[in-house]
Chains A and B, each alone.
Chain A
Amino acid sequence: GNSVTQMEGPVTLSEEAFLTINCTYTATGYPSLFWYVQYPGEGLQLLLKATKADDKGSNKGFEATYRKETTSFHLEKGSVQVSDSAVYFCALSDLTSGSARQLTFGSGTQLTVLP
């Protein structure tokens, strides 16, 4: 079956530090990969996505590259801000296995950025 493994948190960084949150996946087909973000008191929001190998998703200064050879989709940002404090979820959707309706999520990584 499909699975997503995320770097365990919590992660605490100072403002302007470099961020990496690791994500690796197992899938039977050719998944699309996503990062979702959940700010305090809000619902989940799609942050970025990539639908095929070597695609790079980017949004709000965050980037992640779909690496099929390492089955990874690590989230990076060069300079974090206090407002980036949130929980980040890696997820996949695998159309070819017939489970398109079922996003598989990682356990989430809590990021806290200190001023």
Chain B
Amino acid sequence: GAGVSQSPSNKVTEKGKDVELRCDPISGHTALYWYRQSLGQGLEFLIYFQGNSAPDKSGLPSDRFSAERTGGSVSTLTIQRTQQEDSAVYLCASSSQAGARTEKLFFGSGTQLSVL
């Protein structure tokens, strides 16, 4: 597609359930990022994929969070045993200039996750 696509756009779940969030980056972009935007907070880096390199998971807040990127394209962010504090907008971004000083990120519209 023309832009970064995320699904679902909204997800309501019960505390303790697992959720999967999907990101479809721009075709040909080798770098993929997941961010989290909590209410009133800035964007928080979660994880970064670049080509076939090992992902940078340094931003994941706990071991309940994991992410995969299959075939260097689509990525799935999984949150196990969700907690109310996981409620946020989860944003995915992709880039073709990973690590460049003028790297430009293209963001999806995000998934609004609400944990009841």
Interface of A toward B, CB cutoff 8 Å: 4, 6, 32, 36, 38, 41-46, 49, 51, 89, 91, 93, 95, 100-108
Q: How far is the CA of A93 from the CA of B99 in the complex (A)?
A: 9
Q: Chain B residue with minimal CB distance to A101?
A: B48
Q: How far is the CA of A102 from the CA of B45 in the complex (A)?
A: 6
Q: Determine chain B's interface SS by DSSP, over half rule.
A: loop
Q: CB < 8 Å: which of B42, B98, B103 contacts A105?
A: B42
Q: CB < 8 Å: which of B59, B91, B99 contacts A43?
A: B91
Complex contact A102–B42 (CB within 8 A): no
B40 interface hit (Cβ, 8 Å): yes
> A38-B107, A43-B3, A105-B35 are known contacts; what are 8 more A-B pairs with Cβ within 8 Å?
A32-B101, A41-B109, A43-B106, A43-B108, A51-B102, A95-B99, A102-B48, A103-B43
Size category of the B interface is 20 to 34
Contact A51/B101 with A44-B107, A101-B33, A101-B50 known, Cβ cut-off 8 Å: yes
Q: CB < 8 Å: which of B40, B93, B102 contacts A44?
A: B93
Taken residue by residue from 40 to 53, chain B's Cβ proximity to chain A (1 for < 8 Å, 0 otherwise) reads as: 11110100101000
Task: Offer 30 A-B interface pairs, CB within 8 angstroms, sorted by A.
Answer: A6-B42, A32-B101, A32-B102, A38-B107, A43-B4, A43-B106, A43-B108, A44-B93, A46-B104, A46-B105, A49-B102, A49-B104, A51-B101, A51-B102, A93-B101, A95-B101, A101-B31, A101-B50, A101-B98, A101-B99, A102-B58, A102-B59, A103-B45, A103-B105, A104-B42, A105-B42, A105-B43, A107-B41, A107-B42, A108-B42
Contact A43/B42 with A32-B101, A49-B102, A95-B101 known, Cβ cut-off 8 Å: no
